[in-house]
Chains A and B, each alone.
Chain A
Amino acid sequence: MNSPQSHLKKHVWSYIFVMPMFVLFLCFTLYPLLASVRYTFYNWDGIGIPKDFVGVTHYVSIAQDLLFWNAFKNTFIYTAVLVPTQLTLALGLAMVLNSRWLRARPVFRAIFFSPVVTSSAIVGIVISLLTSTAGHDVNTMLLRLHLIERPIDWLGNPHTALWIIIVTGVWIGLGYPVIYFLAALQSVEQGLYDAAKVDGAGGFVLFWHITLPLIRPVGLVVLLITVLHSLRVFDIVQVMTRGGPYFATDVVGTYIYRQAFYANEVGGSDANLGFASAAAFFMGLLVMGISALQLAAIRYTAQQRKAG
């Protein structure tokens, strides 16, 4: 059984089992990650081999580019508004969907998951039709309720466009945190609640002292995923506004895409993959900084809690 030969044979199989995954990982995840760093030091339009070495010039121009910081600001607003809203809604919904007295649970569950399973590109198109002046829909409703005086082109107006995108983002992504919270809530022992109820604990106390601490680990993972996900927002913005009007909804994702493929379209310089890579890497560093701060904050509050 445990002869070295059978041992080796077992390992041979392990290598065969891991190999395909690892090769794909090396080729399409690790290598591109490292290679994209190299491009950031070149002027390169994507044709042939990058030759025009420019050092850190791209990083300097990005750090000075007001449009980049505008895109960063929009991405930041998007994330800062979306994440707390979405997670609060998701936790509330998960608790409702988890309650034992709820009838027709599968139906409600399916309703609140449905935007998740749909393409954000397509949903973005539907929302832009719904909010446009031609569709007469959201506008008709608001006119009838006398909330507005004349139809508003929600996505064409620099003051409202980003907010429509944020609302859409919350709506599209809500299902994922709901699923994770629901799964976490289901693993909480019902006995804990029953015991606390016997001791006379009310709804809020139950929530604060039992539910919240028990789903905290899952909550932190969900928080990190949601933040990273919203910092990378691209699809819905590209489909709904392409960053317009007047860059009011331009996020880092659309900024980079424009630099890499369609710089000419908006009258900028020629497409420059080196510049685009530098912008992406620069954003990656900023995101890493934000994640580090986030982790530090989480650790700090955990320590405070232990001390307090």
Chain B
Amino acid sequence: MKAFRQRRLFSQSVFHIALAVFGFLYMYPFLWMLSGSLKIGSEFLGGGLDLLPQRLMWQNYAEAWKTARFGIYFKNSVFVTVTSTLIIVILTSMAGYALARSNFPGKKLVIGSVLATMFLPRGYTIIPIFELVKHLRLLNTLWAVILVNAATGMVFNTFLFVGYFTTLPPELEEAAIIDGANFPTLYQRIALPLAKPMIGTVVLFEFIDSWNSFFIPLVFTLGRPDLRTVAVGMYAFVGQHSTNWTLMCAAATMSLLPTLILFFLLQRLFVEGVAGSIRG
């Protein structure tokens, strides 16, 4: 029995080491980027595989922030991401609650048409969207990016909330109804607090999605370089200064930080939420 346990301990440690090595290789591009962001240009080209820079060049960050205008791009990205995530969470949780809890006439039509679009062949819908935004006089504004980002998040997240709210026991609300609570109160005081894991999941998914979205801001900021988001700014930067590698690494590192931090903060809620939506 003891020999067996020892053998298992041994194979488990081998497993941990193998996983750690694989994890290191997996993370290598990030580590490489991080180290590149702290190197001098010449060292970057000559240094090859050395991950540790000789001297930490924090100036790269300051330079990327100012000369490469990443400060502006960053501000745009934060504004776009926070606003569209808020819009999505509020609107889809409201719609999800109503669709899960009440049997209003026309409910089937709403669910049916939303479902149908998931199966229709997807055209190049950016063109009619572009036209619509033009008619709304929002072209070359950040509101265009926000509105389109938020709108594309409607379908999937509404279904996530419908699934989640359907699994909640209705008894809690019944008690509150007797106390005279109306629909918005039920939603705000009872349903929302119970939906924390789902809210965490949606916030995380949508924050990541909208922070990283590339095509929509690319199209809507073609005429206004000062409205570029970080992802589009990176792309443009590469086009113009394709030789300034260390600066590019610094900019890339900065642009990845917000989503990484948010992920670490919401990690637990997130797995819970996904597990909940699968069970539901």
Contact = CB atoms under 8 A, between A and B. Distances in A.
Nearest to B278: A183
A162 interface: no
B199 to A, nearest CB: 16
B271 interface: yes
A180 B29 contact: no
B125 A32 contact: yes
Interface in A129-161: 129-130, 134-137, 140-141
A17 B222 CA distance: 35
A280 B94 contact: no
Interface in B170-229: 177, 182-184, 187, 208, 211-212, 214-215, 219, 222
Contacts of A232: 122
B62 interface: no
B79 interface: no
A116 B112 CA distance: 31
Given A18-B99, A33-B120, A136-B45, A13 B259 contact: no
B231 A260 contact: no
Nearest to A134: B45
Contact of A125 (B30, B130, B151, B234): B234
A205 interface: no
Contacts of A116: 208
B275 A186 contact: yes
B19 A108 contact: yes
Contacts of B19: 96, 102, 108
Given A36-B123, A126-B33, A280-B123, A31 B132 contact: yes
B4 interface: no
Nearest to A107: B23
Given A103-B16, A276-B127, A184 B231 contact: no
Interface string A109-139: 1111111111111110111011000111100
B3 interface: no
B183 A14 contact: yes
Contacts of A218: 278
Given A29-B117, A111-B23, A277-B123, A10 B102 contact: yes
Interface stretch (A20-28, A64-72, A73-81, A193-201): A20-28
Contacts of A283: 121
What band does the interface of chain A fall in when counting residues whose beta carbon is under 8 Å from B? 35 or more
A134 to B, nearest CB: 7
Interface in A249-274: 256, 260-261, 273
A166 to B, nearest CB: 16
Interface in A54-98: 96
A114 B279 contact: no
Interface in B261-280: 262-264, 267, 270-271, 274-275, 278-279
Interface string B14-31: 011001000100110110
Nearest to B125: A32
A66 B4 CA distance: 63
A29 B264 contact: no
Given A36-B128, A129-B245, A11 B105 contact: yes
A159 B249 CA distance: 27
A40 B104 CA distance: 38
A30 B271 contact: no
Nearest to A232: B122
Given A27-B132, A134-B45, A260-B124, A117 B99 contact: no
Pairs A-B, 3 closest by C-beta atoms: A284-B121, A36-B123, A280-B124
Given A17-B183, A36-B128, 4 more contacts: A17-B97, A117-B260, A137-B49, A284-B120
Interface of B: 12, 15-16, 19, 23, 26-27, 29-30, 32-33, 36, 44-46, 48-49, 91-92, 94-95, 97-99, 102, 104-105, 107, 110, 113-114, 117, 119-132, 147-148, 150-152, 154-155, 158, 177, 182-184, 187, 208, 211-212, 214-215, 219, 222, 230-232, 234-235, 238, 245, 248-249, 252, 255-256, 259-260, 262-264, 267, 270-271, 274-275, 278-279
20 contacts: A13-B183, A29-B151, A30-B113, A33-B123, A39-B128, A40-B123, A96-B19, A102-B19, A112-B23, A119-B211, A126-B30, A126-B32, A126-B252, A130-B32, A135-B245, A137-B48, A171-B26, A279-B124, A280-B123, A288-B119
